[in-house]
């Protein structure tokens, strides 16, 4: 900010500012208006984060007292928004899910669900097996003649036609008992003993129980159940095999239905064929649905745990659910279990998987919240940097404009008599305008890069000459700031295809940084030389240096090192970002070697023509980023 003071006939003391104005030719000027410029520090006019509010004094007087009312900052509002919009619903979801899983584990819900399904499967299996037994019994019943026509030869033919029946008998009160066994099995002593025992048993209790059995079978027929089955244990050496025997009504010698017939299923047939095939058939619908049998079923005597028969996949162990069979096979129990595991293990695995899924979801939510917080914080920091950028750029624009105005007004008033002095002022105005142009070009370049519209004009260029001419245009600023300047350009530097304006601007950005961030040791060195198939352009200073942990960040847009001198020095934070983009577009790279208190060396490394065939492609790629 410049303040003009008009005082006539008074010789003021030197003004404090960016640069002291040169005194005009010494000659008395009475009643002439002289303008002096005083450059004041930039005033921060941004809105304060604290407000003053009126309150009543401590003694109850009505005179308002100004008190402080602190406002929430952006970070506090961000955290509150995250908690209300993300963290709180996520935490409620996770807690409810944990309570749900715990309730399932506590109530054994998974195991109970499986047990209900298993019970349903066993019920269906029993029904299907009983129906198959009834169908087999119906085949024999349909072939069996009445009591008046029954004879040994007829019953032997029926036994031969139905090998699953081991014994067949028919009792009529008038004709007595006809009991026949399969002739091909009677040679087996165990089977012969079985036939003798059954014949003796039936002949003993049938006359006594005939009347009651007829009534019972008639009632069963009315209910749609035409059979009455009972259990028999057939001796086989030191063991006994399960047999099922069924009674049904048959025609008597008088044309009535008072005769009782019976059939006994073959024990080996039930064990080796009937039950295994029946159990596999029950589970066959899973194969039809392209699924593997995950359950297995077995049948065992009610008072024993040893399986009488089992489906494919039964691997031993304890059954999960059991069901006592009725109908055609009393005295047996059906059991079901999971193949290769148990319900308890399955439930534990289910609960464990749920906990793992919840843990994964919690981690994802936490990660999402952290990433969201970081992104928003980064955007907020970027917004602050942009705000500082606008403020700093405004100050950077005001400084050269004020100088241009100062020297232009001095020249306009005709106060300089020396032509050399006028030329010097013209030169200063030109150089400050060039500085202003460079700053504006930086901003425009940044805008084009952000929009992906930056284009480069590559031309065959003498790099040494370009560097020398660029430094000569900036020599005035270097010398005016009291810097020792050293320029070393090797003679063997080859010509390169570069964008002259972009590369010159990159060099000036590096030199300008050296000017701004040097304190006592004011030195700038620029070296251009050929090295290992590349051309290196070095800018060396003895300034404040850059910490190692921040050297990778200084090329980011708007980033400024956290040093007090850096923050007290005005800058846009775009220079190094633009340098990196320009050098990358040329197929090169920017290197930095620095340490706090020892200065910095920035190196622009440009490949030689035979190594830069892909530079053109790099331009388009860099422009899109």
Listed residue (344, 347, 285, 282) closest to 314, CA to CA: 282
Place of tokens 């584990």: 105
> What is the secondary structure of 524-541 as a DSSP string?
EEEEEEEETTEEEEEEEE
**Phi-psi region at 249: left, alpha or beta (left = phi > 0; alpha = psi -120 to 50):** beta
pTM for the structure as a whole: 0.46
Listed residue (599, 598, 600, 545) closest to 590, CA to CA: 600
**Residue ranges of domains in the chain, CATH in brackets:** 2-39 (no CATH), 125-275 (3.30.450), 277-344 (no CATH), 416-624 (3.30.565.10)
Output the six-digit token pair for 602: 């920035």
Output the six-digit token pair for 50: 């604290």
pLDDT at 527: 94
Pairing state of beta strands 523-531 and 33-39? unpaired
Would you say 130 and 224 are in contact if contact means Cβ atoms under 8 Å apart? no
Q: How far apart are CA 577 and CA 558, in angstroms?
A: 8
Give the start-end residues of each E strand in 173-222: 176-181
Helix (H, G, I), strand (E, B) or coil at 225: coil
3-state DSSP: the chain helix, strand, coil percent, rounded to 5? 50, 20, 30
Identify the burial level of 51 via C-beta atoms within 10 angstroms of its C-beta, where 0-12 means exposed, 13-18 middle and 19 or more buried. exposed
Run means of pLDDT, 10 residues per run, the chain, 625 residues: 36 37 39 41 43 46 45 61 66 71 59 80 90 92 80 89 93 87 90 91 88 87 85 88 91 73 93 90 63 75 89 82 91 87 70 76 76 76 70 73 87 84 85 78 73 80 91 83 89 90 88 85 92 90 86 75 55 76 89 89 88 42 38
Q: How far apart are CA 576 and CA 178, in angstroms?
A: 115
Listed residue (431, 531, 545, 436) closest to 481, CA to CA: 431
Q: How far apart are CA 24 and CA 425, in angstroms?
A: 11
Q: How far apart are CA 446 and CA 451, in angstroms?
A: 9
Q: How far is CA 17 from the centre of its chain?
A: 57
Q: How far apart are CA 365 and CA 596, in angstroms?
A: 41
Q: How far apart are CA 546 and CA 394, in angstroms?
A: 26
Would you say 594 and 600 are in contact if contact means Cβ atoms under 8 Å apart? yes
> What is the secondary structure of 57-69 as a DSSP string?
-TT--SSEEEEEE
pLDDT at 610: 64
Would you say 601 and 592 are in contact if contact means Cβ atoms under 8 Å apart? yes
DSSP annotation of 23 reads: P
């Amino acid at each position: 900010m410049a303040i003009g003071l008009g005082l006539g006939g008074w010789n003021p003391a030197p003004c404090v500012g960016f640069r002291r104005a040169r005194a005009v030719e010494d000659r008395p000027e009475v009643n002439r208006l002289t303008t002096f410029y005083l450059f004041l520090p930039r005033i921060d006019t941004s809105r304060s984060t604290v407000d003053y509010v009126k309150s009543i004094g401590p003694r109850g007087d009505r005179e308002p007292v100004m008190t402080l009312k602190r406002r929430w900052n952006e970070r506090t509002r961000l955290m509150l928004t995250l908690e209300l919009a993300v963290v709180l619903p996520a935490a409620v979801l996770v807690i409810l899910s944990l309570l749900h899983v715990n309730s399932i584990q506590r109530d054994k819900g998974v195991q109970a669900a499986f047990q209900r399904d298993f019970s349903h499967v066993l019920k269906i299996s029993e029904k299907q097996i009983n129906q198959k037994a009834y169908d087999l019994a119906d085949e024999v019943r349909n072939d069996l003649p009445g009591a008046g026509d029954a004879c040994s030869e007829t019953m032997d033919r029926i036994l031969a036609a139905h090998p699953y029946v081991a014994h067949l008998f028919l009792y009529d009160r008038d004709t007595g008992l006809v009991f026949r066994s399969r002739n091909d099995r009677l040679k087996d002593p165990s089977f012969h003993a079985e036939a003798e025992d059954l014949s003796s048993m039936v002949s003993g209790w049938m006359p006594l129980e005939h009347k009651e059995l007829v009534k019972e079978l008639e009632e069963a027929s009315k209910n749609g159940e035409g059979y009455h089955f009972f259990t028999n244990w057939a001796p086989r050496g030191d063991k006994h095999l399960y047999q099922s025997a069924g009674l049904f009504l048959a025609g008597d010698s008088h044309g009535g239905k008072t005769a009782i017939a019976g059939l006994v299923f073959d024990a080996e047939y039930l064990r080796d064929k009937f039950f295994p095939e029946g159990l596999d058939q029950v589970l066959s619908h899973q194969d039809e649905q392209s699924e593997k049998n995950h359950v297995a079923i077995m049948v065992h005597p009610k008072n024993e745990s040893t399986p009488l028969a089992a489906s494919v996949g039964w691997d031993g162990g304890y059954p999960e659910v059991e069901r006592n069979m009725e109908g055609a096979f009393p005295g047996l129990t059906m059991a079901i279990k999971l193949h290769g595991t148990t319900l308890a293990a399955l439930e534990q695995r289910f609960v464990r998987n749920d906990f793992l899924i919840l843990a994964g979801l919690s981690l994802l939510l936490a990660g999402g919240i952290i990433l969201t917080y970081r992104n928003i914080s980064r955007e907020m920091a970027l917004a602050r940097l942009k705000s500082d950028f606008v403020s700093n750029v405004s100050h950077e624009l005001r400084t050269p404009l004020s100088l241009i105005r100062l020297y232009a007004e001095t020249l306009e008033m005709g106060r300089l008599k020396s032509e050399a002095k006028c030329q010097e002022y013209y030169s200063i105005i030109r150089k400050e305008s060039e500085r202003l142009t460079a700053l504006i070009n930086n901003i425009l370049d940044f805008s084009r890069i952000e929009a992906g519209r930056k284009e480069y004009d590559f031309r065959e260029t003498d790099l040494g000459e370009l560097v020398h001419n660029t430094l000569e245009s900036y020599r005035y600023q270097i010398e005016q700031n009291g810097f020792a300047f050293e320029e070393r350009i090797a003679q063997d530097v080859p010509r390169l295809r570069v964008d002259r304006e972009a590369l010159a601007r990159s060099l000036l950005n590096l030199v300008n940084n050296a000017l701004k961030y040097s304190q006592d040791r004011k030195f700038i060195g620029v070296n251009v030389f050929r090295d290992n198939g590349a051309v290196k352009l070095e800018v060396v200073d003895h300034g404040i240096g850059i910490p190692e942990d921040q050297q990778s960040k200084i090329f980011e847009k708007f980033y400024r090192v956290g040093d007090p001198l850096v923050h007290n020095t005005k800058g846009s934070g775009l220079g190094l970002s633009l340098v990196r983009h320009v050098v990358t577009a040329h197929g090169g790279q920017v290197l930095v070697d620095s340490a706090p208190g020892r200065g910095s060396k920035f190196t622009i490394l440009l490949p030689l023509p035979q190594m830069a065939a892909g530079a053109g492609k790099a331009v388009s790629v860099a422009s899109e980023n």
